[in-house]
């Protein structure tokens, strides 16, 4: 069933002294792909700025803006209306021999390499070998994500945006970012290309139409087993109508909702509010 969702993502900064220059990038524009269609999107700032958009290397829409008048606060709001659908887990994916072919490993090599968040390690070789023996690649993606789900506890505040997958694994606790990074580590150990997806999750499937709820920034994975498809290891479910994808990359470093540099005062307060409304 197709859903139509309205998302309002507002980030506010307050500074302890006037900022004289600010250069920023926002990844707040949902993706248009085979699972979802963007009907409307705008990114606005207070104070007002001029902006321009481009698509980054990974295929994510970026709104870039800068501000050169002294200011002690900055607010950035992304407003979108998106139609979403569920993902059907493929039943006709490639086999292990196909994934091992040089052409596949060359084409998707960037999604098989180590990063700061998903570093090299042999920690997951045993579970990867077990899943390769017991599953085909598509089944192995689901099994890997569910294994992470079963072996981690969802505990906010234990990890942060700079925590690597191995650091989260040492704690056996974390949030959606950590679940996605860990799943990517297991998939890489099996030779399955995968990427990190950031976006939003409508938390209440039974919410009434028009009801405004406090939404969540969320992260999950997409794997390539003949085509790209998504799975949510935090909730151990295929990506569905409640998921709104915004950015893709190798890890969190490729997809932060906001990043930038300032000249002048430092931030003393930071606040993020995500509102989600199911329209249809």
Tell me the pLDDT tens digit for each residue of 134-193.
Answer: 999 999 999 999 999 999 999 999 999 999 999 999 999 999 999 999 999 999 999 999
Q: What are phi and psi of 261, to 5 degrees?
A: -135, 150
Q: Are 90 and 16 in contact (CB under 8 A)?
A: no
Q: Are 81 and 5 in contact (CB under 8 A)?
A: yes
Which residues 6+ apart lie within 8 Å of 109 measured at CB?
A: none
User: Could you read off the pLDDT of 99-126 as tens digits, one per residue?
Assistant: 999 999 999 999 999 999 999 999 999 9
Partners of 81 in beta bridges: 6, 40
pLDDT bracket for residue 266 (50, 70, 90): confident
77-105 mean pLDDT: 94
For the chain, the domains span 3-85+256-278, 96-254
* pLDDT: which is higher, 240 or 265: 240
* Residue-level pLDDT at 1: 83
Q: What span, in angstroms and rounded, lies between the C-alpha atoms of 185 and 127?
A: 11
Q: Are 90 and 229 in contact (CB under 8 A)?
A: yes
Number of H helices, E strands in the chain: 6, 15
199-213 mean pLDDT: 94
* Residue-level pLDDT at 87: 83
User: Could you read off the pLDDT of 37-50 as tens digits, one per residue?
Assistant: 999 999 999 999 99
* Residue-level pLDDT at 61: 98
Tell me which residue has tokens 């084409």.
Answer: 107
Question: What CATH number should be reported for the domain whose range is 96-254?
Answer: 3.10.620.30
Same fold, 3-85+256-278 and 96-254: no
Query: Would you say residue 58 has pLDDT above 90?
Result: yes
CA angle (149 as vertex; 146, 155 as ends), nearest 5: 170
Q: Which two tokens stand for residue 174?
A: 């974390």
41-65 mean pLDDT: 97
SS3 for 248-264 is EECCHHHCCCEEEEEEE
260-273 mean pLDDT: 84
* Residue-level pLDDT at 92: 86
Q: What span, in angstroms and rounded, lies between the C-alpha atoms of 256 and 220?
A: 14
* Residue-level pLDDT at 265: 75
Round the average pLDDT of the chain to a whole number and report it.
96
- DSSP, residue by residue, 25-86: EE---PPPSSSEEEEEEEEEEES---EEEEE-TTS-EEEEEEE-S-EEEEEEEEEEEEEE-P
* Residue-level pLDDT at 88: 82
CATH architecture of 3-85+256-278: Sandwich (2.60)
């Amino acid at each position: 069933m197709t859903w139509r969702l309205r998302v309002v993502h507002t980030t506010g900064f307050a500074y302890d002294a006037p900022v004289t220059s600010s250069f920023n990038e926002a990844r707040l524009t949902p993706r248009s792909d085979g699972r979802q269609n963007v009907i409307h999107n705008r990114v606005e700032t207070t104070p007002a700025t001029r902006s321009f958009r481009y698509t980054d290397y990974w295929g994510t829409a970026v709104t870039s803006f800068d501000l050169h008048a002294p200011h002690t606060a900055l607010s950035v709001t992304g407003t979108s209306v998106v139609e979403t659908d569920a993902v059907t887990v493929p039943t006709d994916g490639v086999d292990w021999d196909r994934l091992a072919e040089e052409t596949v490993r060359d084409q998707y090599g960037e999604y098989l390499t180590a990063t700061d968040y998903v570093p090299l390690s042999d920690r997951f070789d045993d579970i990867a070998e077990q899943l390769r023996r017991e599953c085909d690649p598509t089944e192995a993606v689901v099994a890997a994500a569910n294994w992470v789900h079963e072996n981690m506890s969802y505990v906010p505040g234990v990890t942060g945006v700079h925590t690597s997958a191995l650091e989260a694994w040492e704690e056996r606790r974390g949030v959606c970012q950590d679940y996605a990074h860990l799943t990517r580590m297991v998939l890489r150990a099996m030779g399955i290309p995968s990427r990190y997806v950031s976006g939003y999750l409508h938390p209440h499937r039974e919410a009434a139409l028009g009801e405004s709820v406090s939404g969540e920034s969320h992260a999950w994975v997409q794997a390539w087993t003949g085509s790209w498809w998504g799975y949510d290891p935090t909730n151990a479910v295929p990506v569905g109508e409640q998921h709104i994808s915004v950015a893709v990359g190798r890890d969190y470093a490729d997809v932060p909702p906001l990043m930038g540099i300032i000249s002048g005062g430092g931030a003393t307060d930071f606040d993020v509010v995500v509102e989600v409304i199911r329209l249809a």
